[in-house]
């Protein structure tokens, strides 16, 4: 906890930390994911209305659908409004156009479109076009809202000297300064518990899973309940910890330590304007956070590209041997949607990725390659997907290795979980054989 440093504050608060609005949006996101699974093809209007109430609504009375108390893992809050009032996801979603999704839509528009289409599916699964909306909506919300707002606003333009000065309240009557609150809001979007520096990556992962064996690790104040604001983990904090559990990286603690060091710097300024040297150091901490956070997202996309490669391999083997490909195809769509959601997130932070983004868009496409070697290529005037002939599934399998190589090199990845790039030579040989067979036919 950081104490109140604002010299003009005369209230009773003894802490200058506040990021309940960000945690409310994490709870909205978690809940949105669960609502998507309710779709069964016959309840589209009801599901759509509920999805929109958690995406764009601000009304009172919304319950927290996830996370919720378990018998041996009690949670303090049950209503969104107990975290923060009047919050939604849409107003904070990325406003720029995203080239990786058909229709030239903004991040906010993409999420609205996905929600509308998800309501007409069965549990968010669209086998015709190859989409798992549960995963697409979740992963892209994390990028278009949380990552975007943190790195493109709070750790960027709002850190400038003239914006939200440290000797003024963030808003009239608040117990925190402009810079204190800006920094805290970015931390809130990352989604880490306040006591993260005393937790291991494995403990973070188990807390998110509501594992009762880790209740004491989550419950920092030992009051018997987990506070969703200060003691729970979400979104990219979870993925950073999950990647770090491999033992190859330290993304989670690198980000949290930079947040803590930056907040300590602001606190030590004791309610005075930050000096040029202090602002320079604060920007240095912000750069560490932004760079590492981007690596976490790229690592997740890398991992799922490897999963897609495996799924295509399984589909091929089952097809050749007359096996049932239903489960493998479902996994393929799920893993592709997770990969695509993370790749779209890299684009939704107002950062120019140049040729890397162009190559990722071309290698992955607007959808996975489907049976019959077709792929979504555009939307029509009514917003419905248009499919056309595409490359083969074997060629698309090679694309996944190219995606992994591109991500690893562009973002200096270290963990590289589910790395399949050693198989490039084998896939190329198989493609040559496929081509020769086609010519002989």
Say what the pLDDT of residue 423 is: 77
Q: How far apart are CA 184 and CA 150, in angstroms?
A: 10
Which residues face 125 on adjacent strands? Answer: 122, 132
Say what the pLDDT of residue 433 is: 64
Instruction: Pull the structure tokens for residue 38.
Output: 């309710």
> What's the mean pLDDT in 53-63?
97
Asked if 4 and 14 count as a contact pair (C-beta separation under 8 A), the reply is: yes
Say what the pLDDT of residue 440 is: 43
What is the tens place of the pLDDT at every residue in 285-333?
999 999 999 999 999 999 999 999 999 999 999 999 999 999 999 999 9
Which residues face 131 on adjacent strands? Answer: 126
**Band of the pLDDT at 434, cuts 50, 70, 90?**
low
Query: With left for phi above 0 and alpha for psi between -120 and 50, is residue 141 left, alpha or beta?
Result: alpha
Say what the pLDDT of residue 428 is: 73
pLDDT(439) > 60: no
Instruction: Pull the structure tokens for residue 347.
Output: 């684009």
> What's the mean pLDDT in 51-69?
97
Asked if 331 and 228 count as a contact pair (C-beta separation under 8 A), the reply is: no
Lookup result for tokens 């799920």: 334
Q: How far apart are CA 391 and CA 293, in angstroms?
A: 33
Say what the pLDDT of residue 438 is: 44
Lookup result for tokens 């209007």: 45
> What's the mean pLDDT in 50-77?
97
pLDDT(394) > 90: yes
What is the tens place of the pLDDT at every residue in 85-111?
999 999 999 999 999 999 999 999 999
Instruction: Pull the structure tokens for residue 134.
Output: 């549960």
Say what the pLDDT of residue 430 is: 75
Instruction: Pull the structure tokens for residue 334.
Output: 């799920």
Q: What is the pTM of this model?
A: 0.96
Lookup result for tokens 């005037």: 381
Say what the pLDDT of residue 424 is: 79
pLDDT(53) > 60: yes
Query: With left for phi above 0 and alpha for psi between -120 and 50, is residue 275 left, alpha or beta?
Result: beta
> What's the mean pLDDT in 248-277?
98
Say what the pLDDT of residue 436 is: 53
Give the closest residue to 17 by CA, choosing from 295, 210, 300, 259: 259
Q: Which residues of 142-157 are buried (b: 16+ CB within 10 A; e: fewer)?
A: bbbbbbbbbbbbbbbe
**Phi, psi for 354 (deg, rounded to 5):** 55, -130
Q: Quote the mean pLDDT of the chain.
A: 95
Could you tell me where the DSSP H helices lie in 321-413? Answer: 326-347, 355-364, 393-410
> What's the mean pLDDT in 174-188?
98
DSSP-derived letter for residue 76 is S
The SS3 assignment for 131 reads: strand
| Torsion angle defined by CA atoms of residues 59, 63, 66 and 67, in that order, rounded to the nearest 10 degrees | 120
Say what the pLDDT of residue 291 is: 96
Angle at 366 between CA 365 and CA 370, to 5 degrees: 85
The SS3 assignment for 70 reads: strand
């Amino acid at each position: 906890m950081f104490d109140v440093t604002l010299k003009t504050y005369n209230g009773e608060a003894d802490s200058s930390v506040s990021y309940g609005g960000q945690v409310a949006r994490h709870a909205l996101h978690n809940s949105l994911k669960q609502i998507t699974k309710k779709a069964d093809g016959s309840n589209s209007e009801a599901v759509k209305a509920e999805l929109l109430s958690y995406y764009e609504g601000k009304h009172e009375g919304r319950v927290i659908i996830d996370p919720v108390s378990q018998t041996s893992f009690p949670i303090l809050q049950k209503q969104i409004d107990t975290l923060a009032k009047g919050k939604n996801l849409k107003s904070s979603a990325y406003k720029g156009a995203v080239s990786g999704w058909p229709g030239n839509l903004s991040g906010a528009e993409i999420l609205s479109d996905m929600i509308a289409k998800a309501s007409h599916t069965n549990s968010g699964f669209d086998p015709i076009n190859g989409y798992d909306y549960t995963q697409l909506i979740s992963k892209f919300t994390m990028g278009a809202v949380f990552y975007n707002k943190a790195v493109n606003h709070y750790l960027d333009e709002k850190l400038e000297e003239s914006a939200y000065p440290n000797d003024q309240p963030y808003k009239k009557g608040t117990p925190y300064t402009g810079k204190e609150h800006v920094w805290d809001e970015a931390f809130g979007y990352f989604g880490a518990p306040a006591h993260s520096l005393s937790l291991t990556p494995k403990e973070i992962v188990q807390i998110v899973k509501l594992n009762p064996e880790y209740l004491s690790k989550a419950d920092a104040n030992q009051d018997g309940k987990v506070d969703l604001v200060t003691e729970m983990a979400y979104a990219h904090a979870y993925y950073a910890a999950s990647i770090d559990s491999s033992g190859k990286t330290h993304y989670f603690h690198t980000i949290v330590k930079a947040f803590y060091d930056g907040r300590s710097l602001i606190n030590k300024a004791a309610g005075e304007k930050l000096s040029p040297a202090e602002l320079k150091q604060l920007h240095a901490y912000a750069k560490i956070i932004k760079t590492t956070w981007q690596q976490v997202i790229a690592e997740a996309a890398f991992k799922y590209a490897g999963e897609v490669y495996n799924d295509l391999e399984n589909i091929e083997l089952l097809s050749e041997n007359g096996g049932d490909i239903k489960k493998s195809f479902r996994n393929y769509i799920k893993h592709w949607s997770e990969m695509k959601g993370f790749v779209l997130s890299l684009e939704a932070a107002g950062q120019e990725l140049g040729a890397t983004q162009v190559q990722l868009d071309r290698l992955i496409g607007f959808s996975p390659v489907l049976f019959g070697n077709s792929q979504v290529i555009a939307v029509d005037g009514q917003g419905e997907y248009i499919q056309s002939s595409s490359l083969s599934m074997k060629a698309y399998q090679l694309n996944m290795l190219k995606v992994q190589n591109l991500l690893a090199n562009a973002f200096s990845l270290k963990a590289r979980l589910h790395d399949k790039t050693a198989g490039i030579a084998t896939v190329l040989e198989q493609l040559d054989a496929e081509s020769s067979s086609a010519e002989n036919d």
